[in-house]
Structure 1
Amino acid sequence: EDRALAADYLENSYASHADYFAEYFDMRIKQVEVLKNLEWELASYQVPPAQTRTIAGFIRYLAGYVQETNEPKAQEDRLKDLLGHLRHEQLPATRQEFEHRAILYHILMTIREFIDLKRQFVEGLSSRQREEYWKQQDQRH
């Protein structure tokens, strides 16, 4: 419904930056698809408790930043730190440990895709769009 309203606004506006809402909702729709895939992956795999805590903790952290005017730099950095930490862990000793580590890495790459969609949206904003839409949001918070 929001995407349809954004499209209607775009069609009925002469503003040069009216495509902001259409692009924003397109980005969110893509993020929802990533989350649906992630949900399917999490339901399909047997993930050990320690890795489950890692994934759940990072998702809880991300949840606090799902807002329109958030630049995802801090989330990208935190994910990079988490991946760096995983690289320094002891190498898997068994096939099962290797498979679990591969699943964890795959899930974290899916989460990175979620973050990347927001970063791409933010990078595509014009200075006028930032001024018009993000400054107004900042004043309300």
Structure 2
Amino acid sequence: MQIGLRTIKTALGAVIAMVIAYEFHLSYWATAGIVTILSVQNTTKYSFRLAGSRIVSAALAFLIATLSFRFLGFNPWAYGIFLLIFIPLAMRLQLQEGIVVSAVLVTHFLLQRSYSWHWISNELALLLIGVGVALVFNLFMPSLQSQIKGFQRLTEDDLTNILKNMQAQFTGEETSADSWTRLGHLLNTIRTGREWSNRQQDNQLFIENDFYRSYFEMRRNQYEMLRQMQTNLDLINLPLAQSEHVEVLLEKAAATVAKPNAAKHLVKTVVKIQSDFDGQPLPTTREEFENRAHLYLFLLDFETLLTLKADFYEKVTWVR
């Protein structure tokens, strides 16, 4: 059995919250521990949003409960009317995260048959202690950078191998099957890496650096270009004069996948090949025309693939 960090934080936080509430001589002091259990989250930013939502939700609940108990008395029917009004209103105001906690706190008014300031302040104190302890513990989040870098390396390995396989396909040494398999793996890796980078970003309360989130978004766009390139490559079935130049370019691109700002000179080379392409004699057969059209589309997508990377490293701060 493995005990994770969140479990440890939840257990320790609940104990500390109950001890604090007990030392302040609050009634129903164990409730502070329950609030902490419900408030410990996976990301720092979400825990702060949750805390704010629960405080506003509690204030709304106390107001509705006070009116309900005042006019209907302290009985289960009054509590039911409170829930009928409070829950839809909280949902409408997007305060649904605070419904359970607020409903529990209001039961103390019912049990004590009072909504005096003493009991309102008691419940607010329980809420603030529980939420506050959870916030303190949620400030301590492990860095996910090593895991994210791992997905970055996997992404670059897949990109490198796909480009190498495309180069081999031009020479007839490989088929497209391996590229399509790697494209599927690449997409899954990018998605997972983006999820981890989003989680890491949500744990950075005071530091804003979305390099990895932007990085995986750039790679996701490159994936689309690679998929279109592979589709057009599969439709080329004749040797073409430009093939040798494209093979060299693919080899260079594969060798520089992981290098920042290494795409600019490759973009210029693609543009030159396209210019030379336009200067070639017109095709004499339909099949040659179709093959050249697919190669031209391949080069357009290849240019976009390289431009996406070049633009990315111009706009973001590189994280080593």
Q: Same fold (TM over 0.5)?
A: yes
**Distance of aligned partners of 1:41 and 1:88 in 2 relative to their CA distance in 1, 3 Å threshold:** closer
Structure number with bigger Rg: 2
- Residues 27 and 121 in structure 1, CA contact (< 8 A), matched pair in contact too: yes
Question: What does 1:87-102 correspond to in 2, within 5 Å?
Answer: 87-102=278-293
Partner of 1:81: 272
Q: Determine the C-alpha separation between the residues in 1 that align with 2:295 and 2:202.
A: 43
| Count of residues in correspondence between the two structures | 128
Partner of 1:12: 203
Which secondary structure does the structure 1 equivalent of 2:281 belong to? coil
Alpha-carbon offset, residue 23 of structure 1:
0.1
Q: In the alignment, does 2:280 pair up with 1:112?
A: no
- Residues 236 and 295 in structure 2, CA contact (< 8 A), matched pair in contact too: no
In the alignment, structure 1 segments of 5+ residues that lack a partner are: none
Question: What does 1:16-35 correspond to in 2, within 5 Å?
Answer: 16=208, 18-35=209-226
Q: Aligned letter for 1:15?
A: I
Match of 1:103 among 290, 294, 306: 294
Q: In the alignment, does 2:229 pair up with 1:38?
A: yes
Question: Greater relative contact order: 1 or 2 (C-alpha under 8 angstroms, separation 6 or more)?
Answer: 1
Partner of 1:70: 261
Identity of aligned residues (%): 27
- Residues 71 and 122 in structure 1, CA contact (< 8 A), matched pair in contact too: no
Which secondary structure does the structure 1 equivalent of 2:258 belong to? coil
- Residues 194 and 213 in structure 2, CA contact (< 8 A), matched pair in contact too: yes
Q: In the alignment, does 2:237 pair up with 1:56?
A: no
Q: TM-score, normalised by structure 2?
A: 0.37
In the alignment, structure 2 segments of 5+ residues that lack a partner are: 1-191
- Residues 266 and 306 in structure 2, CA contact (< 8 A), matched pair in contact too: yes
Q: Aligned letter for 1:7?
A: N
- Residues 27 and 117 in structure 1, CA contact (< 8 A), matched pair in contact too: yes
Which secondary structure does the structure 2 equivalent of 1:108 belong to? helix
Backbone CA RMSD of aligned residues: 2.1
Which secondary structure does the structure 2 equivalent of 1:119 belong to? helix
Q: TM-score, normalised by structure 1?
A: 0.76
Alpha-carbon offset, residue 28 of structure 1:
0.9
Alpha-carbon offset, residue 80 of structure 1:
1.3
